[in-house]
Structure 1
Amino acid sequence: MVRRKSLKGDYCPSARSLDAIGDWWSLLIVRDAFDGLARFGEFQKSLGIARNILSDRLRTLVDRGILETISAPGGGAHQEYRLTRMGRDLFPVMVALRQWGERHLFAAGEAHSRLVERETGRPVRLDVRTEDGRPIEAGDAIILKVPVEDGE
């Protein structure tokens, strides 16, 4: 198997973010953690993932500060996984992925899960805005790249 190149020191925030998250299994674990899942068995049942892969992804998410382990309520040897502040900050990323999927990967009227505000039941929507609050689209923005010195 080819070893994945680390993007930890990359100049691009997107590359560093993807390096920290790892892969799609990790994002699905984060999704389930937002949905209240906390135990190894709950993640395994929800995802249908092999135990060794799940164990590796959970360990990686803990090592990278996205999840933390806590003792399960009531004591015992069991531990639970909880999103850290860093993990909870992935919420807009997860909403953006949902919205993109709803827009492009489902037929009109096709049933799918919905993300709603707990208190009101109203749909959650994410907009991209400038610092002063104006809506902005991809064509209205550019990435200012860090100059790379010769020899790098």
Structure 2
Amino acid sequence: MTPVAEQWGEALRTHLALGEARSPVRAAAAFSADAGFFAVAGRDDEDGWPYFRSVAGGPGDGSPDDVEALCTVCEEAVHPRGLRIAGVPWRRESREVISDAVTGSELELALLRDGDRAHAMWVVRAGQDVCVFVLVDGESRAGGADEAPVSETRSLALDFASFLAGQGY
């Protein structure tokens, strides 16, 4: 792992409370369309990569490249038709534009739900080429993502995006 990826991984873990017990965040990624993933982190040292990038398949298997899909997210702030991330279809449920209180820059925020609505993910576009993906822990309630963790995770995602905006991303 590169020093930059380690630095971003630590920033994700710290800002998104991934090391704390009962964190509402299952996994998170900070992504740059220009540089690829800065980092991916999972809760309690879990490997977060499987949530954001397919490991099966390869060139010519007919499935869209996850990184290409993430670039599209950064460009379009999640197209209403949805997208596939790591083989999971996600649909946009809501989208809003929020002004960052510190920098005044605009942050685009989208709530995605998977096909069976068991999981939720916040996507925040912090800059033209930078997105943050925050997967809500869907295991807290059988049959779907609990709204309390979804709301709490929204705040954490916006806080991290604000941190990125403050760092110049």
**TM over 0.5: same fold?**
no
Name the structure, 1 or 2, with higher relative contact order (CA <8 Å, separation 6+). 2
**TM-score, normalising length from structure 2?**
0.25
**TM-score, normalising length from structure 1?**
0.27
Q: As a proportion of its length, which structure holds more helix?
A: 1
Q: As a proportion of its length, which structure holds more strand?
A: 2
